[in-house]
Chain A
Amino acid sequence: MSNHVIVPVRTYYLIFLTLMVCTAITVAVAFVDLGRLNAVVAMTIAVLKATLVVLFFMHVKYSTRLTWAVVIGSVFWLGILIVMTAGDYLTRRWSTYG
């Protein structure tokens, strides 16, 4: 997309602050015992941070549908790789190699 949209500097600083806060939170939460939820929370925060970078720093919020399709498509394809591979491992009835 050519530079048709100029995002205000204030937006950038706001996103930056949010990202730093999220980082602090994710570190802090890591020291709290949430059992299996620890991984979920950590990944959720990471996805949130990545989304902010993609939407605002990478201008996807202001980009064409084609750009959106490319971004979503790449994540979806990675999803295929991980999910279908995990599908094998989750349904095996024998244990690991040790």
Chain B
Amino acid sequence: MTRSSKAYIVGAYEHPTRKADDKSLAQLHAEVAKGALEDAGLTKDDVDGYFCAGDVAGWDARGAGPFSIIDYMGLSLRYLDTTESWGSAYVVHVAHAMEAIAAGKCKVALITLAGRPRAEGMATGTVAAAESLTAAETQFEHPYAPTVALLYGMCAMRHMHQYGTTSAQLAWIKVAASHHAQHNPHAMLREVVTVEDVLASPMIADPLHRLDCCVISDGGGALVVAAPEVAKSLKRPLVRVVGTGYAPKHQRGGKIDLTYSGAVWSGPAAFAEAGVTPADIKYASIYDSFTITVLMTLEDLGFCAKGDGGKFVADGNLISGVGKLPFNTDGGGLCNNHPSNRGGMTKVIEAVRQLRGEAHPKVQVPNCDLALAHGTGGALGSRHGSATLILERE
């Protein structure tokens, strides 16, 4: 293997809570940080780089931003990255951590995500987000109440119109996730569902049914990315970062095309850097805010031709041990959790578990040496960022 090994993921931790009534947001961040460091065999004092996004406690406080949580956790840093890209941020952070480590800016990078939208009773997805007074598009969108579910629904509607994709095909994505979630004791939804169950669930935003939508959960996760010499001094299996890609997509001045995502750019960049092709990937974590997110992302990453996503996901093809491309073996956002309404972190964590051979035995992919994790942050139907990561077991 001649692939790059500038940095390794040495620690990964997913918080077991799904409803954190008894915990503060800062506490959740610190708990996941501690969990990932313990997983790596490192301590807080080893951390010299920290990466966070808009979910950190104190982000909304003027003059505080990331400093509040750094103060709370008592971190001593020589590198800080606060790249905000919503749900895809943590996938981007792994890439940025690798670059910072390669540039000698830090050696042990900590990335955290946490949130408690469920404890706060947040109506996510079906109510329009708070109005921005400075975003230029707000006045041309907010009056129309574009909820997140509607923005993804419009993508699904167009995909169906253009390519003949069906609700039953989309439902197979949820079915596969539920097959995996039955083995995850922390998953919010552990019941195996059928295509018929998905189609019979209430319509939320046409053509997306309730079971086409991810869960709303509290919790979080953390990752530790380290320099090669640090990684090799630890006792954990070596998981290295071999390919990264990131690209935002927007409305292009009104030349709107809802049939693809930013993954058409982030995917090829990551595959080129890694020197591999989609056919080489043994396991894929694909952000699954909605079933349509998965279907479009798989096409855009090149796992199948554009428009063939419906056929690709059908008949259990995403179920571990059954189909060609095992995906989201923790149950994903559709069944397991979606902490802070940001799914990128848990996508990377499950990919690390698979590469270490630490996924649940019922869903562990045999000889899983190459995995992909993909995050989508923002709204597929308006503006979003797409981040792709390719990881390899050494």
Is this pair of chains taken from one and the same complex?
A: no
List residues of A whose CB falls within 8 A of some B CB.
Answer: none
List residues of B whose CB falls within 8 A of some A CB.
Answer: none
